[in-house]
Amino acid sequence: MNAPLIDVRLRQIRLEAQGIASYELVSATDAPLPQFTAGSHIDLHLAHDMVRSYSLANAPSDTDRYLIAVQREAESRGGSTWMHSTPRVGDVLRTSPPGNDFPLAEDAPQSIFIAGGIGITPVMSMLRRLDALGRRWRLHYASRSPAETAFVDELRVMGSGTGEVDFCFGSSRIDRVDIAAIVRDAPSDCHLYCCGPARMIDAFLDACACRPAHTVHFERFAASSEAATEGGYDVILKRSGERLTVAPGKTILDTLLDHSIDVPYACTAGVCGTCRTAVLEGEPDHRDDFLSDEERRSNQSMMICCSGARSKTLVLDL
């Protein structure tokens, strides 16, 4: 099922901006870290069974470390608060090997990126990779103020090479990044990327509706829909034969964990794909942002952290 976890040692914590810290992780053993591609993330195991996905910000050629950045969230579900208060340099943490749900089209003649806030993290890795390849890129980076913006100094330097950086600071400026104009003016062979708040992604997808799907890339940090917690249906676990009732207020994942059934999960928000589970019978109520429309229509799999059931029973391959 899941690849074995890796022990990593926290070598450095650095304040990148107001409320944003970066964490440099190196191998805690003699084994080298698994390599990664631009746009990858790791699922970091925190305390109390919390698992959180963090994008890697360093260059893939930087093979001896993983660099992540974490924003302190006012409405944290625990992960960002823990990361900002608990780990100390020298601590050993456990992580999944890197996975990539947001890959870079390395051979695109030109790439345009739209990033909002902490959404810059995977984009940093992509820009470093494109710089190494000598490819052209342009970044539109929206944030509240320079003091709250991570990697500003580095980007100012990077923006003098094959890339260009447009900063857009201001509390309402995310709305003022003219995404429609950026997309409209992009050359037809250009690949477009967006990572940021939900409304930014939604505007990006609207603007890109007429562009070839393989040139449009995005990654969400939070689901655009509420999780299905209406309950009132049963889940049958095909392999063990167990039948569990999902009560109101609970997701399928909650229900499984309440019964000490160990399943992989990370974001709990329907965006990372870690909890994807095959559906053998029944109709899911899809609430994730991971599956494609076609995959949802097929009802062959679902994200059990946030999706529910339209039928009275779901049979899952668990």
Q: How far apart are CA 71 and CA 149, in angstroms?
A: 10
**In the complex with ligand FES, which residue's Cβ is closer, 235 or 275?**
275
42 close to 33: Cβ distance less than 8 angstroms? no
CB of 102 to ligand FES, least distance (A): 14
**In the complex with ligand FES, which residue's Cβ is closer, 168 or 257?**
257
CB of 252 to ligand FES, least distance (A): 10
- Would you give the binding string for ligand FES spanning residues 219-258, x where CB under 6 A is met? ----------------------------------------
The torsion region of residue 270 among left (phi > 0), alpha (psi -120 to 50) and beta comes to: left
At residue 253, the 3 state secondary structure works out as: helix
CB of 316 to ligand FES, least distance (A): 13
CB of 267 to ligand FES, least distance (A): 4
Please tell me the count of residues contacting ligand FES according to CB under 6 A: 14
Rounded to 10 degrees, the C-alpha dihedral 261/267/270/272 comes to -110
CB of 272 to ligand FES, least distance (A): 3
**In the complex with ligand FES, which residue's Cβ is closer, 182 or 291?**
291
Contacts 24+ apart (CB under 8 A), 237-242: 237/261, 237/316, 237/318, 238/280, 238/315, 238/316, 238/317, 238/318, 239/317, 239/318, 240/318
**In the complex with ligand FES, which residue's Cβ is closer, 69 or 266?**
266
**In the complex with ligand FES, which residue's Cβ is closer, 111 or 268?**
268
Other residues' Cβ atoms within 10 Å of the Cβ of residue 136: 15
CB of 94 to ligand FES, least distance (A): 17
Upper half-sphere CA count for residue 25 (Cβ side, 13 Å): 30
> Which of positions 256-315 make contact with ligand FES (CB under 6 A)?
265-268, 270-275, 288, 290, 303, 305
At residue 196, the 3 state secondary structure works out as: strand
Residues contributing to the site for ligand FES (CB under 6 A): 265-268, 270-275, 288, 290, 303, 305
